[in-house]
């Protein structure tokens, strides 16, 4: 296995960043959620900031189902894996395991002289619609740290769910229409599951419904949901973008609620131009990121994110840690 110095040298040379949109494991020439076209890239999940049009892709089964919709026309040759399915790749062993972020989200472990884990986006709190996360020990950890600042500590999920329920009930009691905004893939389906558990009838748009149908194909159960061309239920769940904000603008009596971890920031509702931003997140908060590292016990951590605080705190704990270029979102 070589001396400590030799192993450390190998770690330092392992990771290369080709511009702002590519992250590549140099030793085996494997892209990690690259946005730029590569010969082959692992895709951890199907959110837009992790997708690229490549010659070959390594994905989970649900992620590939979403990929075919979101990257329509792509001619990528898929290597579709079940969780824990091991394959040989350039003299290394690869397998994927759950990330807890959205349905089908996956981390990848690369085993050779050392064990490398790339997380993609991760969530430790157990959701209703995604496979629960797992953590494995590794030598090198390459981790996403979207909320890598100590101010991002999320309330307990039941508290957030109760706040959402209260917002909706108050709006309905005032004869208004509650409108819940969330990302079309992942957040919207999780919100629908929570709302249905509270007994609300949900109406959504066709793309969210299309993703919802895939969730159901993979065993996530939902009650019937109507679309906007049908009778509206108690709550509208819509994507967070200009098109749908313009769609609801003429509705006079309404309350707009955006579900996002950025709701921790006091001015978030002004930034996103909604009535309320609830810290309903599909990412780890700061404490959970730290917990993940403590369990994984890596020798070195590469941190992908916009905040240096998390990397600096890892260093203060005696870990070798390095920030790398965040994604160009």
The whole-number pLDDT of residue 145 equals 96
Strand pairing partners for 180? Answer: 237, 257
Domain of residue 119: give its range.
4-151+283-324
201 and 271 co-located in one domain:
yes
Q: Output the 3-class SS for 114-144.
A: CEEEECCCCCCCCCCCCCCCCCCCCCEEEEE
Question: Can you give the CATH number for the domain in which 104 is found?
Answer: 3.60.15.10
9 and 146 co-located in one domain:
yes
The whole-number pLDDT of residue 36 equals 87
What contacts 171, CB < 8 A, 6 or more positions away? 177, 178, 254, 255
Of the residues 278, 293, 310, the one at which a domain ends: 278
Q: Do 290 and 302 contact (CB within 8 A), yes or no?
A: no
Strand pairing partners for 108? Answer: 96, 118
274 and 289 co-located in one domain:
no
Distance CA 171, CA 251 (A): 13
What Å distances lie between residue 277 and 3, 196, 252, 297, CA to CA? 51, 20, 20, 35
How large is the angle between the packed helices 187-197 and 206-217, nearest 10 degrees?
A: 80
The whole-number pLDDT of residue 296 equals 98
263 and 168 co-located in one domain:
yes
Of the residues 278, 296, 311, the one at which a domain ends: 278
On whether residue 329 sits in a domain, the answer given is: no
29 and 134 co-located in one domain:
yes
**Structural domains of the chain, count:** 2
Question: Can you give the CATH number for the domain in which 266 is found?
Answer: 3.40.50.10890
181 and 302 co-located in one domain:
no
On whether residue 10 sits in a domain, the answer given is: yes
22 and 140 co-located in one domain:
yes
The whole-number pLDDT of residue 27 equals 79
147 and 287 co-located in one domain:
yes
83 and 176 co-located in one domain:
no
The whole-number pLDDT of residue 326 equals 56
Q: Three-state DSSP class for 255?
A: strand
On whether residue 198 sits in a domain, the answer given is: yes
Helix and strand numbers (H, E) in the chain are 9, 19
Distance CA 77, CA 41 (A): 11
Instruction: Give the residues of the chain that fall short of pLDDT 50.
Output: 1-14, 17-19, 328-329
The whole-number pLDDT of residue 161 equals 97
Of the residues 278, 301, 316, the one at which a domain ends: 278
138 and 37 co-located in one domain:
yes
25 and 137 co-located in one domain:
yes
108 and 18 co-located in one domain:
yes
């Amino acid at each position: 296995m070589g001396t400590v110095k030799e192993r450390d040298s190998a770690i330092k040379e392992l990771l290369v960043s080709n511009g702002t949109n590519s992250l590549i494991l140099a030793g085996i020439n494997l892209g990690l959620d690259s946005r730029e076209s590569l010969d082959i890239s692992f895709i951890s999940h199907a959110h837009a900031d992790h997708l690229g049009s490549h010659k070959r892709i390594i994905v989970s089964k649900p992620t590939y189902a979403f990929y075919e919709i979101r990257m329509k026309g792509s001619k990528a040759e898929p290597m579709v894996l079940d969780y824990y399915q091991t394959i040989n790749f350039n003299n290394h062993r690869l397998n994927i395991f759950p990330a807890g972020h959205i349905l089908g989200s996956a981390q990848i472990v690369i085993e050779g002289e050392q064990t490398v884990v790339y997380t993609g986006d991760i969530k430790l709190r157990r959701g209703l619609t995604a496979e629960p996360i797992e953590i494995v020990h590794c030598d090198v950890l390459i981790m996403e740290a979207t909320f890598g600042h100590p101010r991002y500590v999320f309330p307990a999920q039941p508290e957030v769910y109760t706040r959402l329920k209260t917002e909706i009930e108050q709006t309905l009691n005032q004869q208004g229409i509650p409108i819940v905004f969330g990302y079309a893939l992942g957040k919207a389906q999780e919100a629908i599951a929570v709302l249905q558990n509270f007994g609300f009838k949900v109406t959504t748009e066709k793309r969210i419904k299309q993703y919802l149908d895939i969730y159901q194909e993979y065993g996530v159960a939902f009650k019937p949901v109507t679309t906007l061309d049908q009778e509206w239920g108690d709550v509208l769940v819509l994507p967070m973008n200009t098109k749908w904000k313009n769609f609801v603008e003429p509705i006079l009596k309404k309350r707009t609620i955006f579900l996002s971890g950025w709701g921790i920031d006091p001015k978030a509702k002004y930034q996103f131009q909604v009535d309320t931003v609830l810290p309903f997140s599909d990412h780890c908060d700061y404490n959970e990121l730290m917990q993940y590292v403590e369990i994984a016990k890596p020798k070195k951590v590469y941190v992908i994110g916009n905040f240096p605080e998390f990397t600096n705190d890892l260093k203060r704990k005696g870990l070798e840690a390095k920030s790398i270029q965040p994604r160009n979102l």
